[in-house]
Structures are given as structure tokens and as C-alpha cells.
Amino acid sequence: AFDVLVVGGGPAGAAAAIYAARKGIRTGVAAERFGGQVLDTMGIENFISVQHTEGPKLAAALEQHVRDYDVDIMNLQRADRLLPAKGPGELIEIQLANGASLKSKSVILSTGARWRQMNVPGEEQYRNKGVAYCPHCDGPLFKGKRVAVIGGGNSGVEAAIDLAGIVSHVTLIEFDSKLRADEVLQRKLRSLHNVSIILSAQTSEVLGDGQKVNGLLYTDRVGGGTGHVELEGIFVQIGLLPNTEWLKGTLELSARGEIIIDDRGQTSLPGVFAAGDATTVPYKQIVIAMGAGSTAALSAFDHLIRSPLP
Ligand code: FAD
């Protein structure tokens, strides 16, 4: 059995594994896809102290760093179920999709999240070529250009306000007949001179020249016609979905499905910790996930030294 078993191999999981292994305890990482969302990222310019890197390069460096330690990396393994310890000093079990099962004295959940997509023609083709999901990450790439934000909830309206300070013009497109964001955000948004808002509009296609985005089409849900917006970038803000479906009913999740943790990364289950985008941590970013993974590993170690001997 492991002392610490990390589920998920993104920035949070890699940091957790390194921090745990450095305590000289038996550490394992089971990940569906080692590297996580970083593998899907092109330029990264906010990984502090590294001016510019690329996703696949950072993912390879994460794996290399983890391999420097005695960590059992189980890649391409999806966890399906968590069985809590039956009592103090007992083991926690993680069941894998392939039928195998792993046992550990403590577990760190770092299964990350995925952006909800529009699922319209062109979205996949122009991903990272104008279609973006993270304003904190990619906003500065569109300096002085025209962009749209899809989604009028809090994250969409926050993104539009944020981007309006960087780009030349923002078009906010909302499916509903009204914005769903907090009133104070809506007021701020409406005060900005370079933002326009289109309501009752369903994005139907991302347009491009084969290399990069140059527009989008939407259906007017009231009048029924089609609208065309010329632009260089599209930020999709219709939800970040935590990869926690398999944990439902096992431990406490927020209304959005995020694993509820305290400031030490402790979940509602003894011996089970969590870190990164899968949790209630505010702001989903690489450096934040790494910090949270380190916190969770130190908390797991603290838990182990206080636990009854096996
Ligand atoms: P993830 O990176 O999502 O990793 C989750 C891990 O868990 C993966 O290994 C996954 O395979 C695994 N997993 C999931 N479910 C299971 C399961 N059931 N069993 C086993 N394993 C499982 N952030 C920045 O700071 N700067 C940027 O420039 C930036 N750009 C981005 C660009 C894009 C296109 C995207 C999508 C995100 C970007 N982000 C950026 C956000 C950043 O990638 C995330 O905040 C960060 O990767 C979160 O790390 P994590 O370890 O919590 O989760």
C-alpha cells in the first residue's frame, strides 16, 4: 500500500507527488493523462520566473521532475471509485476503470477540470488559434484586437470587463434574454465604452481563414435571423466543469461539483485531501494548482504522522 496516493497528474498532482516523495514516504500517482490541461495549452506566460514556455514542454518538465524521485507513476489510469477507510488506521481504496484497485493510507485528489465547450463548427479547429477559454492566460495575446466573450454569467461578465482594458472591443454574447451576472458586475460592464452586449443569441459557428479566427455567426433566438461579428478572438465562458463526477455521494462537493476543501486541502473525509482545479480553490491557474498540491501533500504527511500505527 502507498502512504500517499495522488489521483491526477496535472500541476497540482505533480507538485503533491514531489512534496510527498521528499518526505521519504511511499508515493504513487495515478493519472488518466499525465500533464493534464497543460498538454492542451500553447503559450504560457504567467508561470512565474519563466517568461515564456509551452504546454507540452512544461508537461514534460513536470513528469521529469516527478521521475527524479521514487514515485510510482501509473499513467493512462482512470479512477472510478473511492472507498473511504473503514476506521482509523485503515486503508483508503481507489478503484480503477481497468478493474485494478490501489490502497493507500492517504489520498490526494487532483483530477482538475475541463472547460465546457460550445460544440459548434470551427470551435475545435480554431482552438488556440483565436478560440480561448482563459482570459487570465490568453487575454494579453489579443491586445488592441476585437474579441467576443460567450456567456453572460459572472465569469463571462468578469472576463469581458477584464478584456475591455486590454483589447479594442468586446462583444458579449448571451444565450438568455438577460445577463445572469451579479448586478454590480453588469453595471460595471455597461459603463465601459468599448463593450457591446447581444442578448438572446446562440453562437452557431466560429469562422476563420484556415489559420486563425476572423468572425463568428449567431442565431437570433427571438427574431430568428443570423448575425455576423467580425473579430480576432473568442473567449468561451460557459462553465468550468470539475472532473469529480466519480466522487458524487462519497465526499462533500459544492453545488458546482467542486471538492470542498479547507485551507489545508482537507476534504470532508479523513485522510483524503484535494488540490487544484477540481476543488473550491478560487482562481484556476497553474501556479495556484501547484501551491495547492504542495499544501495538500504537507497536510497528508501531517495526517500520517498523527495516525495510529498499522
Ligand atoms: P489538470 O491540469 O486538469 O490535471 C488533472 C489531472 O487529473 C490530469 O492528469 C487528468 O488526466 C487527471 N484525471 C482527471 N480525472 C481523472 C480520474 N478520474 N482518474 C485519474 N486521473 C484523472 N493556467 C495558467 O496558469 N496559465 C496559462 O497560460 C493557462 N492556459 C491555459 C490554456 C488552456 C487551453 C487551458 C485549458 C487551461 C489553461 N490554464 C492556464 C489553466 C491551467 O491549465 C489549470 O489551472 C491547471 O492545469 C490545473 O491543474 P490541476 O492539476 O488542478 O488539473
So what's the pLDDT on residue 310?
Answer: 63
Quick one: cell of 93?
481504496
Distances (CA, A) of 228 to 56, 171, 214, 217, 218: 35, 11, 10, 5, 7
Name residue 37's amino acid.
Q
Distance 112 CA to ligand 1 centre (A): 5
Pocket of ligand 1 (CB under 6 A): 7-13, 30-34, 36-38, 40-41, 44, 46, 78-79, 110-113, 115, 133-134, 137, 243, 246, 276-278, 284-287, 289
Predicted confidence pLDDT, tens digits, the chain (310 residues): 999 999 999 999 999 999 999 999 999 999 999 999 999 888 899 999 999 999 999 999 999 999 999 999 999 999 999 999 999 889 999 999 999 999 999 999 999 999 999 999 999 999 999 999 999 999 999 999 999 999 999 999 999 999 999 999 999 999 999 999 999 999 999 999 999 999 999 999 999 999 999 999 999 999 999 999 999 999 999 999 999 999 999 999 999 999 999 999 999 999 999 999 999 999 999 999 999 999 999 999 999 999 887 6
Instruction: Report which of 169, 174, 172 is spatially closest to residue 149, judged by C-alpha positions.
Output: 172
User: Strand, helix or coil at 36?
Assistant: helix
Distances (CA, A) of 245 to 16, 47, 258: 22, 29, 10
Question: Which residue's CA is the closest to the ligand 1 atom numbered 39?
Answer: 285
Q: Specify the pLDDT at position 138.
A: 93
- In this predicted model, what pLDDT tens digit does every residue of 164-195 receive, in sequence order? 999 999 999 999 999 999 999 999 999 999 99
Dist. CA 200–CA 149, nearest whole Å: 14
Q: Which atom of ligand 1 is nearest to the CA of 243?
A: 15
Q: Which residues pair with 131 in a beta bridge?
A: 127, 234
ipTM of the complex: 0.99
Looking at residue 88, its pLDDT comes to 87
pLDDT in the model for residue 89: 86
- C-alpha span between 189 and 184 (Å, rounded): 9
Q: Which of 286, 288, 290 to mutate to test the pocket of ligand 1 (most atoms within 8 A of CB)?
A: 286
Atom of ligand 1 nearest to the CA of 276: 52
Longest dimension (CA), the chain: 70
Atom of ligand 1 at shortest range from CA of 138 = 28
Per-residue pLDDT, 221: 96
